């Protein structure tokens, strides 16, 4: 599941890249292999519980960089402290697995529910109530766009936290567990920033359109989160963030823009984004690198994973749907070759 060079580049650690970018492709065709990533998270839950306690929170905080124990081993402390959307990314991987396999045994007997419950507990302890807005905030985080640090209400972080809580509530009901009312309360009242006048999602509180961003961030609300939104909002998110995303940023970014444009049946716009992916392939062996200028990790499986997702979830239109086995909703039917 890991390219050797890519693995070494990231200090022999497992990152969010596995859960978000590589895992979904494996899950489609080899769910048994994909499950090993989830079982790794189950095995390292004790370390994640330690991480949360160390930061003063309840539940489990999965590390930004993880090794044998699940304790944070990222050499740069700020990523482990602030890039907490990793918890939601881990939870989404568990949800996607259940959609594909309907394997409740993983949750009932093999520790999956312990992970789900611990992540929900973490989010509940991480939020703060804002009496002025009358909703819950998550403050002091780094979004997927790593150019901005210590921001409040990262739209992706909050949306994936909300998604985590919803999955925990739904799964608890399916397993006939009584889930805390606190989970439901926070899920309903967690702020997910939306500028109603401009009809777009600000990346975080105080974001001004035009500010540069490193990589796919807000566009991830459309996919893989499939957060319900008006098509106008989806389009505006793409229009606003595409031109300000760093052209030298990591390879997987353009795949998510391509999926977004395909959802809106904008074939040529999608192809323009897909073509950018090829800038990260180097000669003579067609090896993917992290950044289009040749810098960063080599044999960059994250970029390859993003590219494959554009094929499977963009052009083919596959979607994970809870409550059905391999029931996909096709969003695109025609591939136009330029």
CA quadruple 60, 221, 270, 238: dihedral positive or negative?
A: negative
Is 76 among the residues known to form the active site? no
Q: What does the domain layout of the chain look like in residue ranges? A: 3-313
CA–CA distances in Å: residue 269 to residues 79, 255, 259, 266, 315: 33, 12, 10, 5, 13
Q: What percent of the chain has pLDDT over 70?
A: 91
Q: What is the mean pLDDT of residues 224-240?
A: 98
Instruction: Quick: pLDDT tens for 1-35.
Output: 344 344 444 444 455 578 999 999 999 999 999 99
Question: What pLDDT digit, counting tens, does each position of 292-326 carry?
Answer: 888 888 888 999 999 999 999 999 989 888 765 34
Which residues, in sequence order, are bridge partners of residue 94? none
Stretch 268-277: mean pLDDT, rounded? 95
Q: Is the pLDDT of residue 211 over 50?
A: yes
Quick check: 67 pLDDT over 70? Answer: yes
pLDDT at residue 322, rounded to an integer = 73
333 has pLDDT over 60: no
Whether the pLDDT of residue 52 is over 70: the answer is yes
Specify the DSSP element, H or E, that contains 197: none
- Give the DSSP H/E element, type plus range, for residue 65: strand 65-66
Average pLDDT over residues 101-117: 98
Q: Report the distance separating Cα 146 and Cα 151, nearest Å.
A: 11
pLDDT at 50: 99
For position 9, what pLDDT does the model report? 46
Q: Spell out the residues 6+ positions from residue 52 whose beta carbon is closer than 8 angstroms to its own.
A: 58, 59, 60, 61, 118, 122, 125
pLDDT over threshold 70, residue 335: no
- CA separation for the pair 32, 29 (Å, rounded): 9
Predicted confidence (pLDDT) per residue in 158-207, tens digit: 999 999 999 999 999 999 999 999 999 999 999 999 999 999 999 999 99
CATH of 3-313, one of 1.50.10.10, 1.10.645.10, 3.40.50.620, 3.40.50.1370: 1.50.10.10
What token pair was written down for 92? 């989404």
| 258, 274 contact by CB (below 8 A) | yes
pLDDT exceeding 90 applies to what percent of the chain? 81
Q: How far apart are CA 96 and CA 26, in angstroms?
A: 11
Query: Mean pLDDT of all residues in the chain?
Result: 91
Active-site annotation holder among 54, 65, 72, 146: 146
Task: State residue 291 phi and psi, 5-degree precision.
Answer: -115, 150
């Amino acid at each position: 599941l890991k390219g050797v060079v890519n693995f070494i580049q990231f200090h022999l650690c497992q990152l969010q890249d596995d859960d978000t970018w590589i895992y979904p492709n494996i899950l489609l065709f080899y769910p048994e292999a994909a499950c090993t990533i989830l079982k790794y998270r189950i095995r390292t839950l004790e370390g994640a519980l330690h991480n949360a306690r160390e930061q003063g929170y309840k539940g489990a905080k999965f590390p930004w960089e993880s090794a044998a124990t699940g304790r944070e081993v990222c050499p740069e402390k700020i990523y482990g402290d602030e890039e907490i959307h990793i918890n939601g990314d881990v939870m989404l991987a568990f949800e996607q697995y259940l959609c594909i396999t309907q394997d409740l045994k993983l949750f009932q007997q093999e520790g999956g529910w312990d992970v789900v419950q611990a992540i929900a507990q973490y989010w509940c302890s991480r939020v703060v109530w804002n009496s002025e807005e009358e909703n819950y905030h998550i403050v002091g985080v780094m979004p997927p766009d790593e150019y901005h640090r210590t921001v409040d209400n990262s739209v992706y972080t909050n949306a994936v936290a909300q998604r985590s809580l919803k999955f925990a509530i739904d799964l608890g009901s399916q397993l006939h567990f009584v889930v805390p009312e606190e989970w439901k309360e926070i899920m309903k009242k967690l702020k997910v920033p939306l500028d109603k006048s401009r009809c777009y999602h600000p990346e975080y509180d105080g974001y001004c359109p035009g500010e540069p961003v490193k990589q796919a961030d807000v566009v991830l609300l459309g996919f893989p989160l499939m957060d319900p939104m008006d098509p106008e909002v989806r389009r505006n998110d793409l229009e606003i963030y595409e031109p300000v995303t760093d052209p030298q940023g990591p390879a997987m970014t353009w795949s998510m823009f391509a999926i977004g444009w395909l959802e809106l049946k904008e074939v040529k716009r999608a192809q323009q984004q897909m073509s950018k992916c090829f800038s990260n392939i180097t000669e003579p062996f067609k090896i993917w690198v992290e950044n289009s200028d040749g810098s960063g990790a080599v044999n960059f499986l994250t970029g390859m994973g993003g590219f494959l997702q554009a094929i499977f979830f963009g052009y083919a239109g596959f979607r994970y749907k809870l409550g059905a086995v391999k029931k996909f909703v096709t969003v695109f039917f025609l591939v136009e070759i330029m």
